[in-house]
Amino acid sequence: MSENFIRFQKVTKDYGTVRVVENLDLDIARGEFVSLLGPSGSGKTTLLMMLAGFESVSGGAIILDGHKINDLPTHRRDMGVVFQNYALFPHMTIAKNVAFPLEMRGIPKAEVAGRVKKALDMVQLGALTDRLPGQLSGGQQQRVALARALVFEPRVVLMDEPLGALDKQLREQMQLDIRDLHHRLGLTIIFVTHDQDEALTMSDRIAVFNHGQIQQCASPREVYDHPSNRFVAEFIGETNLLEGTVSAVQGEVITLELPGGTAFRSHGMPGFAAGDKALLSLRPERIDLFSEGAAPEGSNCLSGEVTDTVYQGDHLRVVVETGAGRIIARINRKASEWANGARVTLGFRAQDGWVIAP
Amino acid sequence: MKYAKAIYASLIVFFLLAPLLVILPLAFTSSAFLTYPIPAFSTRWFEELVVNSVWSRAIVNSLLIAAATTVLATVLGTLAALGLRSQELGMKSQIRTLFLLPMVVPAVVLGVGMQSLFVRFGFNSTYWSVIFAHTVVAMPFVVISVSGALTGIDRRVERAALSLGAPPWKVFGLVTLPLAMPGVLSGAALAFATSLDEVVLTLFVAGPNQRTLARQMFSTLRENISPAIAAAAFIIIVGTVVIALVLMLARRKRA
Amino acid sequence: MTGSSRFRSSGFRALILIAPLLVFLGLFFVWPLITVITQAVSDPAVSRVLPQTAAAIGDWDGEGVPAPEIQAAFRADIAANTDDQAMGDVTRRLNSSKSGFRSLMGKTVSAVRENPDIDLAEVDKRWADTAFWKAIQDNASPYTDAFLLASLDMERDSAGSITSMKEGTSANFAILMRTLWTSALVTLSCLIIGLPYAMIAASVSGWKRAVLLGAVLLPLWTSLLVRTAAWMIILQDNGIINQSLMGLGVIKEPLVLIYNRFGVVLAMTHVLLPFMVLPIYSVLITVPGNLMSAAASLGAHPVRAFLRVLLPLSLRGVISGALLVFMASIGYYITPALLGGAADQMISSVIADYSIKSANWSMAAAIGLILLVLTLALYAVYNRLSRDPIQAR
């Protein structure tokens, strides 16, 4: 397994005077599933389009398997692309669609038929070979698009929000299917999405995009638990952000003083020194609620008053007004509930918080 | 109120269709006059079209010129419509307007200009002068109709073909052109019909040897109105309907 | 975020694709129109035969007689000319500006041919008259507004100022006005027939709508010539209408329905109705169907609801349709030529007659230029309206 199968080196893309991708570096290993996640306009799709060869590269280099491919035409890149709207050929049958890349490669007819059948069986559509795309449901069309992108065993599979047009249930099913194919066939997949759940579910690594730059690229767990900056912390999942000043750093534990005088001990990004301004990111589900004063020894405590409780089915969201501001906690249904106006203490352990730069 | 609407609409539909209904049966009259009632049915006027060399020559000329016009207008118009699709083409809306302008400019004015220009180069009263003149006014229909078909094509479908290994010329041949084909065909049909019906420019740029069916009908209508007109009209209408049906079938098949 | 360029050369490739049509239109559309424009304003008859005179006399101040050099240029031109017919044209042209040139030029040409250095005043004392030189100066320019003025029944008098031609000498302006008036009538009748029709078509659905639209579209695709011929058959003296009315005993003599304004307007309305109905229909179809019900529920009488709600909403379609119909009408040739009498001919017929019958391309071009400018101005308005949609009301 070559570690740097695909390399983006200082890649830049300009549209006129607008820079949509800026000095971007990213290495992707063979067999890896990398999601490009970010708000629309953050440059993630543009990066994918440059990798596929649909967009020219304004600066920097894209290297595939040791060769610079900036100027390699799309049809010679050998990448399977799956589009959000499927982009099936409306005038060709399903079988013809899937056979297309094989015919383009001059593969003998006898072999084509067999491989088309195998690819369609793989996505459970073996029975629909003679239909036209227009006669299929959205989910079926996306499976055909998947089969078409995989049948020629491309070096890389690129997916541009492939599940965006499907309804929730179908989308979750397809997520699992794609993950399964990834494991089974050992594919290298680059997957563009703006849906964080999708990215968390499927990826080996997530590259979080904003303003044409990668804010953080790491495993889903790392991105969620240890966001590298405020954008990532806020973009992925829900979080409470508390402002304060670093008063001490001991190993991996940072002590943060809040304006009200409260001090918290929390893990966080490296490189902080006493006196630095900082933010504490506190995920709602990492907070425990206790009756006032009942918090266990050794954990961080903050007292406040319950102002609202929102029922969410499998959990409750409790809004607590504290001296450090409004904090949202998420508690499971087995924990005790509080009435509005109740005085409570919020508690969390050092490893449940994360300190980032403001 | 409801009845008033129905009656009004029916009257206007009648007004719109009556002329066509009136002229068609007269193609089969045995009389020498274009009047009702029809004394007896006969095909003598169709025979006249075939036997009378003035008419038969005009029909052949029309078919020749219309066929050449269709090919020329369809090729030029389709290429241009493809070019107009690019987002990187400067002055796109101005170029588009220029392409549609021949539909707007009064035919008589264009005819005067063509005649005096062609005469200057000794090019007037030739088949090519007529074909080129017809192509100018037939081409906008091709541009409009092919552009319409092209905007219906999702660019991502073409990108998908590229990514699947098809070089650009194959993408064009296997994806873009087949998908735009209904537009190309209806553009071609409109170009053919336009050429068949063109009178004004023909008056200016055609000589006696390029007399077309429409031109012949026009002078016959001016001089001695004869049922041969109705027979010619019948041929033109039937031709148009046949083309329209073929197009509809082609489209049906695609859908 | 799907971007714009597939390849860096995409703009260049697009240019290659449209280039054949651009070249073709340049040769067979733009060039003919430029020919019309130049022909309408150029008058090379004098400047071609007397090139040195034309170049020299421009500087003359118009007082007394021109300097000897100018007179020498004039003599040289005459001596150099070998085309008697062209000289005849020049003489005619000059004579129409100042009578007396016919005899003067004849005399002068033969004198100068004998002695190229002869003093012109000795040949004829009229060469000492400022007015004759002035006429040459006036006609020497290769450009003229005479044709454009003549197409509006105007001319320049001997003093050079623009005046109307004498009554009865030219009818171009009257025909232009007639063209505009007939076109206005056609537009109005298309509007009166087409607006309610479009509203009904937009208010029904299913097969009814298909029939109503089909009835509009079918004539659009059938030959214009065939439709005009059909109207000739219907409207002629022993046509269907007259025969039925006489058969019913309503009238004794056939009504004159053809070769008059009525026939022209009726047939043109039939031909151009689709251009009125379709734009109105396409605007109305975007109006929510329950709008009239909403107005009614708010207490508006149906007539009031129509005036206050539906009519303003359809206004954009009405304006587009009216512009289209009017624009097409003013350039119409075939229908007035076949269905109109001598007093119903429109401006296009005049142009065609000048061009085809009398080969007077300058006049054809001048009137054509006026028609062209009028049409393009209307088209510019139409284009503007259809490009940035104005809010109804």
Residue at which a domain ends, from A208, A232, A256: A232
* A193 and A305, same domain (yes or no): no
* A210 and A291, same domain (yes or no): no
Q: C-alpha angle A222/A226/A231, rounded to 5°?
A: 110
The tens digit of pLDDT for each residue in B215-232 reads: 999 988 888 778 888 898
Q: C-alpha angle C39/C40/C43, rounded to 5°?
A: 65
pLDDT score for A220: 94
Q: Which chain B residues contact residue A73 at CB under 8 A?
A: 162, 167-168
Contact A114, A151 (CB under 8 A): no
* A246 and A228, same domain (yes or no): no
* A137 and A110, same domain (yes or no): yes
Q: Which of A13, A46, A56 to mutate to test the interface with C (most CBs of C within 10 A)?
A: A56
pLDDT score for C6: 43
Residue of C nearest to A74 (CA): C6
pLDDT confidence tier of residue B254, bands split at 50, 70 and 90: low
pLDDT score for B255: 47
* A14 and A87, same domain (yes or no): yes
Residue at which a domain ends, from A175, A204, A232: A232
* A69 and A216, same domain (yes or no): yes
Residue of C nearest to A42 (CA): C1
pLDDT score for B72: 97
Whether the link from the prior residue into A296 is cis, omega within 30° of 0, is no
Report the share of chain B in percent with pLDDT over 90: 50
Contact A154, B165 (CB under 8 A): no
Strands in A325-332's sheet, in edge-to-edge order, are: A288-291, A343-348, A300-311, A315-322, A325-332
pLDDT score for A28: 94
pLDDT score for A306: 92
pLDDT score for C392: 34
Q: What is the mean pLDDT of chain B?
A: 89
Q: What is the pTM of this model?
A: 0.81
Average pLDDT over residues A297-320: 87
CA distances from C71 to C54, C62, C67, C74, C112 (A): 11, 14, 7, 5, 12
DSSP annotation of B29 reads: B
Q: Nearest CA to A154 among A54, A84, A51, A70?
A: A51
Asked if B113's CB is within 8 angstroms of C35's CB, the reply is yes
The number of distinct structural domains making up chain A is 2
Report the distance separating Cα B209 and Cα B207, nearest Å: 5
Following DSSP, what letter does each residue of A84-129 receive, concatenated? TT----TTS-HHHHHHHHHHHTT--HHHHHHHHHHHHHHTT-GGGT
Report the distance separating Cα A268 and Cα C164, nearest Å: 95
**Beta bridge partners of residue B13, listed in sequence order:** none
Report the distance separating Cα A325 and Cα A346, nearest Å: 12
* A145 and A246, same domain (yes or no): no
Which of A79, A88, A105 is nearest residue B163 as measured by Cβ atoms? Answer: A79
Residue with tokens 């007399």: B211
* A176 and A206, same domain (yes or no): yes
Q: Hey, what are A323's tokens?
A: 């001296």
Report the distance separating Cα C56 and Cα C52, nearest Å: 6
Residue at which a domain ends, from A232, A263, A296: A232
Residue B3 has pLDDT above 90, yes or no: no
**Burial call C347-365: b when 16+ CB within 10 Å, e when fewer:** bbbbbbebbeeeeebbbbb
Residue with tokens 């002695």: C115
In single-letter form, the type of residue at position C245 comes to L
pLDDT score for A120: 92
Domain at C172-387, CATH homologous superfamily: MetI-like (1.10.3720.10)
Report the share of chain A in percent with pLDDT over 90: 53
* A171 and A262, same domain (yes or no): no
Q: What is the mean pLDDT of chain A?
A: 89
For chain C, the three-class secondary structure string (H helix, E strand, C coil) is CCCCCCCCCHHHHHHHHHHHHHHHHHHHHHHHHHHHHHHHHECCHHHHHCHHHHHHHCCCCCCCCCCHHHHHHHHHHHHHCCCHHHHHHHHHHHHHHCCCHHHHHHHHHHHHHHCCCCCHHHHCHHHHCHHHHHHHHHHHCCECCHHHHHHCCEEECCCCCEEECCCCCCCHHHHHHHHHHHHHHHHHHHHHHHHHHHHHHHHCCCHHHHHHHHHHHHHHHCCHHHHHHHHHHHHCCCCHHHHHHHHCCCCCCCCCCCCCHHHHHHHHHHHHHHHHHHHHHHHHCCCCCCHHHHHHHCCCCHHHHHHHHHHHHHHHHHHHHHHHHHHHHHCCCHHHHHHCCHHHCCHHHHHHHHHHHCCCHHHHHHHHHHHHHHHHHHHHHHHHHHHCCCCCC
Residue B64 vs residue C386, higher pLDDT: B64
The DSSP bridge pattern shows strands A189-193 and A205-210 to be: unpaired
Asked if residue A57 is part of any domain, the answer here is yes
The DSSP bridge pattern shows strands A263-266 and A79-82 to be: unpaired
Q: Hey, what are B106's tokens?
A: 């009064």
Asked if residue A1 is part of any domain, the answer here is no
Residue of C nearest to B93 (CA): C387
Most confident segment among A90-94, B26-30, C130-134:
A90-94
Residue of A nearest to C8 (CA): A56
Asked if B113's CB is within 8 angstroms of C365's CB, the reply is yes
Report the distance separating Cα A322 and Cα A313, nearest Å: 26
Cβ-based neighbours of C222, under 8 Å, separated by 6 or more: B20, B236, B237, B240
**Structural domains of chain B, with CATH:** 60-151+186-227 (1.10.3720.10)
Report the distance separating Cα B139 and Cα B198, nearest Å: 13
Cβ-based neighbours of C122, under 8 Å, separated by 6 or more: none
Q: Does A106 touch chain B (CB under 8 A)?
A: no
pLDDT score for C388: 53
* A205 and A293, same domain (yes or no): no
Phi and psi, residue C324, nearest 5°? -60, -50
pLDDT score for A170: 84
Cβ-based neighbours of A88, under 8 Å, separated by 6 or more: A97, A133, A141, A144, A145, A148, B157, B160
Contact C320, C308 (CB under 8 A): no
The tens digit of pLDDT for each residue in C366-389 reads: 999 999 999 999 999 988 887 654
Average pLDDT over residues A43-52: 92
Q: Which domain holds residue A166?
A: 6-232
* A19 and A72, same domain (yes or no): yes
Average pLDDT over residues A77-105: 91
Report the distance separating Cα B137 and Cα C224, nearest Å: 15
pLDDT score for B252: 65
Host H or E run for residue A192 = strand A189-193
Which of B83, B101, B108 is nearest residue C17 as measured by Cβ atoms? Answer: B83
Other Cβ atoms less than 10 A from the Cβ of C311: the count is: 15
Q: Which chain C residues contact residue A73 at CB under 8 A?
A: 7
What CATH number does residue A315 fall under? 2.40.50.100
Cβ-based neighbours of A195, under 8 Å, separated by 6 or more: A163, A164
Burial of residue A79 (CB within 10 Å: 0-12, 13-18, 19+) is buried
Asked if A40's CB is within 8 angstroms of C1's CB, the reply is yes
Q: Does C10 touch chain A (CB under 8 A)?
A: no
Q: How many CB pairs under 8 A join A and C?
A: 21
Q: How many CB pairs under 8 A join B and C?
A: 260
What CATH number does residue A130 fall under? 3.40.50.300
Helix (H, G, I), strand (E, B) or coil at B94: helix
Phi and psi, residue A230, nearest 5°? -60, -40
**Beta bridge partners of residue A14, listed in sequence order:** A19
Contact C245, C217 (CB under 8 A): no
Q: Which of B31, B45, B109, B198 to mutate to test the interface with C (most CBs of C within 10 A)?
A: B109
Asked if A75's CB is within 8 angstroms of B165's CB, the reply is yes
pLDDT score for C292: 67
Residues of chain C with pLDDT below 70 are 1-9, 158-159, 289-293, 295-296, 387-393
Residue A159 has pLDDT above 90, yes or no: yes
Report the distance separating Cα A103 and Cα C73, nearest Å: 80
Residue B237 vs residue C193, higher pLDDT: C193
* A51 and A199, same domain (yes or no): yes
CA distances from A78 to A100, B167, C199 (A): 13, 12, 56
Contact A292, A344 (CB under 8 A): yes
pLDDT confidence tier of residue A64, bands split at 50, 70 and 90: very high
Helix (H, G, I), strand (E, B) or coil at A213: strand
Q: Hey, what are C46's tokens?
A: 């004098």
Q: Which chain C residues contact residue A20 at CB under 8 A?
A: 1
Average pLDDT over residues A85-107: 92
Burial of residue C233 (CB within 10 Å: 0-12, 13-18, 19+) is buried
Q: Which of B150, B163, B177, B251 to mutate to test the interface with A (most CBs of A within 10 A)?
A: B163
Q: What residue spans in chain C does CATH classification 1.10.3720.10 cover?
A: 172-387
